[in-house]
Amino acid sequence: MGIRSFGMGGLFGSSGMGYGGVTMCDPKDDSFFCKLNRFTSEIHMLLFIVMLVAIPGYLLWKRKYGKFKLN
């Protein structure tokens, strides 16, 4: 597996392109499903922000200190 496929897979996999549908819950709805859906959405957004920082940081570190070279 190449570094480009790792980066693109992480970016597209965490961007929500793999989801088939969207669940709409009323903000005042306190059912278990809607609470779980809001919680997992927050975790998903946090992981996406981490990936936006981690992947370019890893690529820059690898380019400077490792034997990785972009074509």
Matching residue, tokens 């570094």 = 3
Number of domains comprising the chain: 1
Q: Report if residue 13 sits inside a domain.
A: no
Containing structural domain, residue 33:
29-71
Q: Report if residue 54 sits inside a domain.
A: yes
Category of 65 on φ-ψ map: left (φ > 0), alpha (ψ -120 to 50) or beta: alpha
Taking the model in full, what pTM does it have? 0.55
Q: Report if residue 22 sits inside a domain.
A: no
Residue 10's closest CA among 67, 45, 54, 71?
54
Q: CA separation (Å) from 67 to 23, 27, 56, 60, 61?
A: 45, 50, 16, 12, 10
Q: Report if residue 58 sits inside a domain.
A: yes
Q: Report if residue 62 sits inside a domain.
A: yes
Query: What is the predicted pLDDT for the residue at 59?
Result: 86
Per-residue pLDDT of the chain (71 residues; tens, 9 = 90+): 455 555 555 555 555 544 545 678 888 889 999 999 989 989 999 999 999 999 999 888 888 887 656 65
